Chains A and B, each alone.
Chain A
Amino acid sequence: MKTGGPLFLSKKIFFLLFLFSSAARAEEPPKVTLERIVDGRGNRVCDVAKAELKAEGVRRTAWVVRGLLRSDLVLTLEAVGGQASLHGIALGGRPPLRFASPSPGGRVTAASPASSFKYFDVDLSRKTVRCNLTRLAEEADPDLLTAVSEYGLLKQGLENGSSYAPEESPVVALLAARKQPPHPSPPYRRRVPWTEGGPDADELAAAARAAVSR
């Protein structure tokens, strides 16, 4: 359902997540892992920082992808047990597109800052869902769909690129909405450990910590 007012996500899900995430914030600092994605010659394509917080049944994660696009691509997830989840996708500090789900397979509420739409995952390939999701993405950020396509291409080039982590589910939904055919020969990409540290690494880790604590 589209609404003209502010976010119209399930109040119960938000209330639960609010309670749990407040508890999570009070715990230890988030754990951050860094990785670098390079091309066939070993040249850097982008860096990814993954931050995670766990407390009292709620798990919060944030991925910050830097260097792939002009702005950071930020993917966030708050999951309560194995049930309710709240995903977010945003470019830099711009408005996110959020996806709230009361349970796996339940009715998902997607919301931009301007309106929202509810759907079942089973209908993700239908034009009604695809049309509404692309509209919401454009309302949230006009560059978001292009960013998702770039990220999708990056995934295609990686080994095991077809498997997506739970944090990446907004990307999966928006790629389905765009229904782009797979690239016939996606550029080769691989993950390498990034352990040497340095100011760039510190800065990226700080961005991921900030995103997970937000």
Chain B
Amino acid sequence: MRVRGLVLALCLASAAGARAQEPDWFDAFRDRAFLQGDASFIAREKTAPPESSPLFRARWVVVRYRGFSEKEREFWPYRNLLLVTMPSGSRYVLESSYGFRDEKHLDEERPFDRLASERTALEIWMSGTAGETGADAGPCEGSRVRVRAPGGSLDFFLTELSSRTVRATLAEITAATFDEGERRDLVVLLRMSIESNRSLGGDVMTSNVQLRQPLLAIFVAFRDEAPPVEKRTLAFAPDPAPPGDLAAWRGLAHLPLDLPLFPATVPENPIR
């Protein structure tokens, strides 16, 4: 009996250890959060009349985190979120984010893209730097990504997204992660045209925070089902309906309880 208990304890400790090794996406987004962007859209066929029903609704939200001092404000982490509601009521969060980054440890994984349904999530983490590609570079050096999802994981280089090996494995991971209804919904988003783009504007960093970026998670995860560019015929139009309270998205999108508007300047805390 004592031996059985010991074995059970070892198994539990081992399982807990394995879980502890997996990084937590939201650890990269800490400190005070501000709402920097909030706009609502409806998605329709480009040729559809304005009164036609939307294929889905999307709310574009940018959350900025005070990761560094006011002087380094343009490098503050951000989460670029597309909160999608399908006509059925199913909801999805697409995310393209830039987390807290330790410049001395660039090889450590950092959040890149995330795709969440109300049931599950697929995360894409980035590691390495694009500069590590000299003649003596090893096969794992350079900027690479890791997909993590309940349906499996894969380390690969984004430049090889079109390869047969990467596409086949991603298709298996998404099939094992998202159920049939979720996959049917998410594949609709692949038809978004990304030729017209919007950005937050402002400083260097926020000019790079663009509406189309959260859609990249879909194009990576469902690469095998992405239609050719000429068949990406959906476009966003401003949503005339009132946006509603963001609190409804707090759980699914992991939004902080208190989310004041991004101020023009944030006073430094003298105690810090």
Contact = CB atoms under 8 A, between A and B. Distances in A.
B153 A1 contact: yes
B156 interface: yes
Contacts of A178: 139
B242 interface: no
B163 A128 contact: yes
Interface string B4-19: 0000000000000010
B155 interface: yes
Contact of B139 (A1, A4, A179): A179
A2 B156 contact: no
A3 interface: yes
| Consensus secondary structure, chain A interface | helix
B39 interface: no
Nearest to A119: B165
A29 to B, nearest CB: 40
Contacts, number: 60
A179 B140 CA distance: 12
Nearest to A108: B165
A113 to B, nearest CB: 15
B152 A2 contact: yes
Contacts of B140: 127, 131, 134-135
Given A3-B152, A132-B155, A123 B139 contact: no
A120 B162 CA distance: 13
A1 B154 contact: yes
Nearest to A127: B157
A130 interface: yes
Interface of A: 1-4, 107, 118-120, 122-123, 126-135, 177-179
Given A1-B169, A122-B164, 14 more contacts: A1-B152, A1-B173, A3-B153, A4-B18, A123-B165, A126-B163, A127-B142, A128-B156, A128-B157, A131-B140, A131-B155, A134-B138, A135-B140, A178-B139
22 contacts: A1-B153, A2-B154, A2-B155, A107-B168, A118-B168, A120-B164, A120-B165, A120-B168, A122-B164, A123-B160, A126-B160, A126-B163, A126-B165, A127-B139, A127-B160, A128-B160, A131-B139, A131-B155, A131-B157, A132-B155, A134-B139, A135-B155
